[in-house]
Amino acid sequence: SEAMRSTAPKYVIEQSQELLPTSSPRETYRRNLAESVWRLLTLATWSLQVALILLLVQGVQHSVFEGRSLVPKLYISWQIVLLATLILEDGWRLVIWHNVKRRPKLRLVGQQMPFVDIIIVTCGEDVDVILDTVRAACAQDYARSQWRVIVADDGNDDELQAALCSPSKDLPCQLLYHRRPGKPGSKLGYKAGNMNAALTHLDSLSGKAGGEFCAFLDCDMIVERDFLRTCMGHLLTEPKAGVAIIPQSFYNLPRNDPLYQSMHIHNFLDQVQRDTLDAAWETGPGVVFRRQAIKDIGGFNEWVLMEDVIAGMLLNGRGWQTVYCHEQLQWGLAPDTLAAHIAQRRKWTVGTLRGAVLAGFGLSGRKLPMLKWQQRVVQIWYCMGPHVSAIHRTILPLALLYIFSTGQPLIMPSSRAHLDQMLLVALLLGICKHAESFVTGAHCGYRMVRRRIQGAIWLSPYLSVTIIRECLPKCLTSPMRFVPTARLNSNLMERDQKLRAPLFHRVTVMILQQGLWYHLLVSTVAVGLLYKQVFDSRAQITHVAMCQHLYSHALAPGTDWFVYIEMLAPVAYAILPPTVPARKDLLYKTTIGKLDVRYPKPESRVETWNWYYVFEEVPYILGCSFYVYIRTRVCPHSSETTHQTH
């Protein structure tokens, strides 16, 4: 496409006619249509959930069995909490009632460029991983001597220092090494403390001090050559842009992504929608800051653990823009074990909670004085939604099992027509929820949406315990220790085909030491209760009584047995872990100038799926088929059932 040139003071930015995210007119139309349909489906889902709750309440109010209404009341409370969970997860998206923002594709061109510091933070990670990141940072397509790279090492790694400080004439930029005082693991401020110390060190250097801009990379994130030109194009075009953000992508994701480690939905849906509301998250690596913006928020907060997201929130609160550049220009490493994945998500949960406290749950007028109302909505939802959702997703399955264990009816329809209404509303509710997943899949694929739902369910017990521990007084719990993600190793090595632990040892360790006993226990109890409910229904004297028992117990309107299937995802992972090639086999080497650089192979950048994913849909097909069979063959007329036999 033809390009348009615009000029910032002494810099030239090329603006393509291409808009991001890149898509054809047909695909753009499909996505916009999906957005509109999703809003309607979401409102319909909430409305149907409210309607079901009202019908349940109506049944209790008209019941003549006052002494047996406790369980139905508990079931109503369960449905209310479920509605709150739905709203807290996706309510902020309804602020958007128009097409999402699509930013132009920008590039800083020519050789007139501002000076940029690239800071790579490390803390004891593998030296080869760090060096691949350093070489990619030094291979930027940028004006010579207009950027420098500094490795900020909190791990005090002498081998790394020796590798970086050896003189080399092959580098087009200056390469520095810095370690702050203290022993590894005892330095204050976590990663944020390292970042702040690196900025202070750069400002203290003689000669060229810290420039107007600085970039941050994690030690495992390999950036493409036009990373700086892309981000600087946006920062120079928008004077109030405090940070330019590129999406995080991974090159070591396993096939079918069984633990939901992909950032695909976050990159292609969530961030685009937040950017539409001028509230894009600053998500850590692969960002370029305006130094003045960092000073305005007092540097990076060293307490919250999630210094990246809270920095973006504070920038918005000070009137700075967080610009989302929707181009995949960095590729990193996802945790390669179950234990590491859980530890990473627990760390994110603590960081999110601390960030919420720091920001007054999005309501602080002192910390966030210049937020637009749309930005404040996003921040309030960010501060509250994940924590409430995790706790709800933990409590709801347990509460439902308790309700079933009483053996009492869950619903108390006042008439035959009343039960028909409940069943119809529940059917429409299930259809709308599933349709939401399909429509959301227009942006990022139905399989990814299903994985996200599944991941939220099985991870919730770990996150809930983490939230509770973080909220308890320190005298009642031991402090939680966190290490950098790249150092979270497991001797099970379950994704290495040659080195993975034997099946029995692997499954035993994951069940007993990594918490999968909980998932097995809850799912086993659910299967037992479901079998008992169905068996009790078949034991009824008359056909009408059997149908009554089914519709008031195991198949009560609004029940969700599928959640217990989702909880078994990590158990299936333990039994059949995916195989991922060695890291170096995922990279290819190229020479840029005199510098050998490794980048992810094209096939490593694509998230792949196979027939196994289709197999995971079988329980849903069987469950729906069973319900249809009961509804059409066994109990075809709910009018045969009445409330009287309760």
Does 211 score more than 90 pLDDT?
no
pLDDT digits (tens, 9 = 90+) for 160-208: 999 998 766 678 899 999 999 888 877 888 899 999 999 999 999 866 5
For 582-599, b where at least 16 C-beta lie within 10 A, e where not — what string? ebeebbeeeebeeeebbb
Alpha-carbon span 150 to 189, nearest angstrom:
19
Domains of the chain as residue ranges with CATH: 25-97+387-444+490-578+610-640 (no CATH), 105-371 (3.90.550.10)
Which value, in Å, is the radius of gyration of the alpha carbons in the chain? 27
Given this model, what pLDDT does residue 2 score? 41
Alpha-carbon span 333 to 585, nearest angstrom:
13
For 242-265, b where at least 16 C-beta lie within 10 A, e where not — what string? bbbbbbbbbbbbbebbbbbbbbbb
Amino acid present at 285: P
Longest dimension (CA), the chain: 92
Amino acid present at 292: Q
Neighbours of 220 (CB within 10 A): 26
Given this model, what pLDDT does residue 498 score? 92
Angstrom CA distances, 434 to 92, 405, 437, 624, 636, stand at 20, 28, 5, 12, 24
Judging by DSSP bridges, how do beta strands 595-600 and 11-20 pair with one another?
A: unpaired
For 119-141, b where at least 16 C-beta lie within 10 A, e where not — what string? bbbbbbbbbebbbbbbbbbbbbe
List, in order, residues 6 or more apart from 603 with CB less than 8 Å away.
none
Given this model, what pLDDT does residue 387 score? 87
Does 483 score more than 80 pLDDT?
no
pLDDT digits (tens, 9 = 90+) for 223-254: 999 999 999 999 999 999 999 999 999 999 99
Q: Find tokens 């060096």 and name the residue.
A: 131
Task: Using a pLDDT cut of 70, give the percent of the chain over it.
Answer: 93
Cis-peptide into 461, omega within 30 deg: no
Alpha-carbon span 284 to 155, nearest angstrom:
19
Where is 600: in which H helix or E strand?
A: strand 595-600
Tell me which range, 15-29, 391-405, 613-627, is most confidently predicted by mean pLDDT. 391-405
Alpha-carbon span 555 to 307, nearest angstrom:
46
Amino acid present at 152: A
Given this model, what pLDDT does residue 548 score? 87
